[in-house]
Structure 1
Amino acid sequence: MVAVTYDMEIPSSIPAPKLFKAFVLDSHNLIPKILPAAVKSVEFVEGNGGAGSIKLITFGEGTSQLKHMKQRVDGLDKENFTYSYSVVEGNALMGELESISYHIKVVPSADGGSVCKNRSFYHMKGDSMITEEQIKAGKEKAMGIFKAVEAYLLANPDAYN
């Protein structure tokens, strides 16, 4: 199985603890609230958010070619602001991927904000390949969700303190 790796860093003016709470720990509640057309619901079908938990994400109709996906929580460290998860089911895998794994770390920055570091691993089935355009599209969707969470936190400064 071939794996393609992609790294992305996003600076934010939001402090690391607050960003981690909203973007990771409460994302199952917050994202459907602030992006209801894109993400219809996020529910835990196994577990309560810790390692081994399974989330079912249902996407909004007509906003994406995606209908649903399942994510498995691989690791969560609240003290060090790290989170790892894998997409293990759904049409986000495009029939060519075994899974997609994400490793997120939110790092405090000197200016009081933070940097969200993400390393993605695309695990291919057999000798399938993923194109740069497909990776770019995934990156843009992730960036859109991140920026929506950031905008919510900026507009609601008392949230997630």
Structure 2
Amino acid sequence: MAITTFTDEHISPIHPSRVFKASIVDSHNLIPKLMPQAISSIQITEGDGGAGSIKQINFAYGGNFKSLKYRVDELDEESLVYKYTLIEGEALTDKLEKITYEVKFEETKDGGSVSKVTSKYYTVGDFMLKEDEVKAGKEKVIGMYNAVERYLLQNPHAYT
């Protein structure tokens, strides 16, 4: 098994606590409303949404994937840290055991935020993952962040 790690950053003019509440804490409600063409629903199948919970993302009909499940490993609303592990779904091919994510939001000097995402891909055997193989997934996540950002800019009192 090998572990391939990628890190990304996304800068936003929105305060980090608002982005965290909207894109993480209330994602199961907000994201399907903002992106119905991509995500039909996000369900909490076990737990209350906090650490130890299992969530299932159901993708819109006609996409590459039907669904995926992930476990919430940490949800810290004070330090704005979110960790989760992809545990089931078509994104986990026979070459991937699991994928873990750590997302941390920090305030920028101008009152906006930077989200720092570390993803770790745990491969099976001697398979080596290349960055271009995860590019499409990264672009979809950026699209989700952009949709949340647009919503928060248009609704300045939401998630305050």
Q: Match of 2:75? A: 76
1:94 positional shift: 2.4
Unaligned 5+ segments in structure 2 are none
1:109 positional shift: 0.7
Whole-angstrom CA distance in 1 between matches of 2:143 and 2:15: 19
Whole-angstrom CA distance in 2 between matches of 1:148 and 1:130: 28
Aligned partner of residue 55 in structure 1, secondary structure: strand
* Contact 1:96/1:129 (<8 A) preserved: no
* Contact 1:86/1:101 (<8 A) preserved: yes
1:133 positional shift: 1.7
1:50 positional shift: 1.1
Whole-angstrom CA distance in 2 between matches of 1:35 and 1:94: 25
Aligned partner of residue 129 in structure 1, secondary structure: coil
* Contact 1:61/1:67 (<8 A) preserved: yes
Aligned partner of residue 93 in structure 1, secondary structure: coil
Map of 1:96-107 to 2, 5 A cutoff?
Answer: 96-107=95-106
Instruction: Indicate the percent of aligned positions where both proteins have the same amino acid.
Output: 49
Q: Match of 2:156? A: 157
1:134 positional shift: 1.6
Quote the RMSD (CA, aligned, Å): 0.9
Map of 1:6-155 to 2, 5 A cutoff?
Answer: 6-62=6-62, 64-155=63-154
TM-score, with normalisation over the residues of structure 1? 0.96
* Contact 1:73/1:85 (<8 A) preserved: yes
- Runs of 4+ deviating beyond 4 Å: none
Unaligned 5+ segments in structure 1 are none
